[in-house]
């Protein structure tokens, strides 16, 4: 089996284990998430793979709405970022917007 194929299989296996773990802790975990989202926070951060937004804030999926890009930039010509902000504020009614940067950023 080629290395890439093995890596992809491992990703899917990791996902299967994660799903089982989540259901073990709470049988209706995914049903609850499917009902919708109402996060209190919009997180604008970098794309650095070492900084997963909900993990560093101790939050679960559905508790933070996330937009990530290179160097956590918010530029008025970036329609994607503007759309995320507008949706978070006008539709999700987030209470706080967090712009997060850090030293030694790798993206």
45 pLDDT more than 90: yes
Same-domain status, 59 and 30: no
Mean pLDDT, residues 79-86 taken together:
97
Handedness of CA 98, 104, 106, 107 (dihedral sign): positive
Question: What positions carry a catalytic annotation?
Answer: 46, 48, 50, 102, 105
Same-domain status, 59 and 99: yes
Return the SS3 of 68.
strand
Q: Residue 96 — φ and ψ, nearest 5°?
A: -140, 145
Range of the domain at 16: 1-35
CA distances, 104 to each of 41, 46, 58, 99, 101 (Å): 24, 11, 21, 16, 10
**Spatial separation of the C-alpha atoms in residues 85 and 44, rounded to whole Å:** 9
36 pLDDT more than 60: yes
This prediction's pTM: 0.85
**Spatial separation of the C-alpha atoms in residues 13 and 16, rounded to whole Å:** 5
Same-domain status, 9 and 43: no
Domain count, the chain: 2
Q: What's residue 106's pLDDT?
A: 81
Q: What's residue 1's pLDDT?
A: 55
The lowest-confidence range among 45-49, 92-96, 100-104 is 100-104
Q: DSSP state, 43?
A: E
């Amino acid at each position: 089996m080629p290395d890439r194929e093995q890596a992809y299989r491992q990703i899917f296996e990791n996902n299967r284990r994660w799903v089982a773990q989540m259901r073990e802790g709470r049988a209706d975990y995914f049903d609850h998430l499917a009902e919708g989202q109402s996060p209190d926070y919009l997180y604008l951060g970098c794309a650095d793979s070492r900084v997963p937004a909900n993990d560093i804030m101790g939050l679960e999926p559905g508790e933070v709405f996330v937009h990530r890009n290179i160097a956590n930039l918010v530029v008025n010509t970036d329609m994607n970022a503007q759309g995320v902000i507008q949706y978070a504020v006008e539709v999700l009614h987030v209470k706080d917007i967090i712009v997060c940067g850090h030293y030694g950023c790798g993206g």
